[in-house]
Amino acid sequence: MTKISRAFSPGHISGYFCPKTCKNGDKGSIGGGIVITEGVTSTVSYSDKTSVEIIRRGRSGEILTKIIGSPPIEYALSRMNVTARVQTECRLPLGSGFGLSAAALLATVSAADDCFECGYSREKIEAFAYEAEVYSSSGLGDVPACTGGGYICRKTPGLDGEIIRNYDAGEEIAAVSSGPIPTGEIIKNPQILKRAKGAFPSGCPESIEEFFRMSKQFAFKSGILTKDAEEIIRACESESVPASMTMLGNGVFAYGNSAKEILSSFGEVYTMKISESGYSLLQSK
């Protein structure tokens, strides 16, 4: 019988970021974000040839999006020297600032490690995922973020970077998306990255409200803020609800029990909590 392994990784909403070079010369970033309870589940089994199916499901389990192939996942598996059949599933919109690329990589590499009984350490699993994330320009810091939970401050870049994790925010996170923004186009654009560096806030937030203030300030000063996101943020401001733009996606995330009602005027609202932990193996059979 073919072994089947499943793993889950939470997603990550970045509020602000600044590209930095890691000690070993790899690309990376520092910044602040929230690790969320929504993420990606990956199912892995043996195959003679690697195939990847990416599925996004609706509230009733119906398939909303199906994509065949994933260069980042295929790259990670090739670095592990395995060939596999992979199916990833998520509920949040793809390419919309929820860190799903990193979540898919961590979940898949973790499941593949179990499926093929590789015996890799968590550090090695994370290294495969991070290398694939940077190689494919799908992100610069979501993988380190998703290795644990909380709302976070990444003080130094890379997997071995210093991350402060806080767990003192128990209210709901609500988010709405107006569409994707190609991450690669942002992190490869020197003018945008220059503005991001200039807008980057100093210090780490001491509360979830301060995190949102810092994130909103960054969104406006960096020039990344879209008109759609600005309109939604202004609506939240009028009701004193902490909110900012999902980095990098054309959407907004907001905090507190009133957030869902306000965001509902702008599209489908996705609700979640701040995750207490990072990626984990779910099933092996």
CATH number at residue 252: 3.30.70.890
Q: Are 130 and 88 in a shared domain?
A: yes
The answer as to whether 280 is a domain residue is no
Residue 106, CA atoms < 13 Å, CB-side half-sphere: 31
Nearest to 221 by CA among 243, 200, 205: 200
Q: Are 9 and 134 in a shared domain?
A: yes
**Which of these three, 164, 180, 210, is where a domain ends?**
164
Q: Are 187 and 72 in a shared domain?
A: no
**Which of these three, 164, 189, 206, is where a domain ends?**
164
Q: Are 232 and 194 in a shared domain?
A: yes
In this structure, are residues 108 and 239 in contact, taking their beta carbons and an 8 Å threshold?
Answer: no
**And the tokens for 50?**
């690697």
**Which of these three, 164, 186, 202, is where a domain ends?**
164
**How far apart, in whole angstroms, are the C-alpha atoms of residue 2 and residue 221?**
52
Q: Are 176 and 250 in a shared domain?
A: yes
In the prediction, which pLDDT does 109 show?
A: 98
Give the structural domain span for 29.
4-164
| Mutual angle of helices 227-238 and 208-222, in 10-degree steps | 140
Q: Are 13 and 110 in a shared domain?
A: yes
Within 8 A by CB and 6+ apart from 261, the residues are none
CATH number at residue 82: 3.30.230.10
pLDDT in tens, the chain (285 residues): 579 999 999 999 999 999 898 888 788 899 999 999 999 999 999 999 999 999 999 999 999 999 999 999 999 999 999 999 999 999 999 989 999 999 999 999 999 999 999 999 999 999 999 999 988 887 778 999 999 999 999 999 999 999 999 999 999 999 999 988 776 677 778 888 888 899 999 999 999 999 999 999 999 999 899 999 999 999 999 999 999 999 988 999 999 999 999 999 999 999 999 999 999 999 777
In the prediction, which pLDDT does 189 show?
A: 81
Nearest to 248 by CA among 45, 53, 94, 23: 94
**Omega of the bond leading into 140 within 30 degrees of 0 (cis):** no
In the prediction, which pLDDT does 136 show?
A: 86
166: left (phi over 0), alpha (psi -120 to 50) or beta: beta
Nearest to 12 by CA among 125, 115, 129: 129
Q: Are 110 and 20 in a shared domain?
A: yes
Nearest to 107 by CA among 242, 214, 11: 11
Domain count, the chain: 2
Q: Are 135 and 208 in a shared domain?
A: no
Q: Are 147 and 230 in a shared domain?
A: no
Q: Are 258 and 182 in a shared domain?
A: yes
Q: Are 177 and 266 in a shared domain?
A: yes
Q: Are 253 and 150 in a shared domain?
A: no
The label of the residue with tokens 């009733």 reads: 60
| Mutual angle of helices 122-135 and 100-115, in 10-degree steps | 140
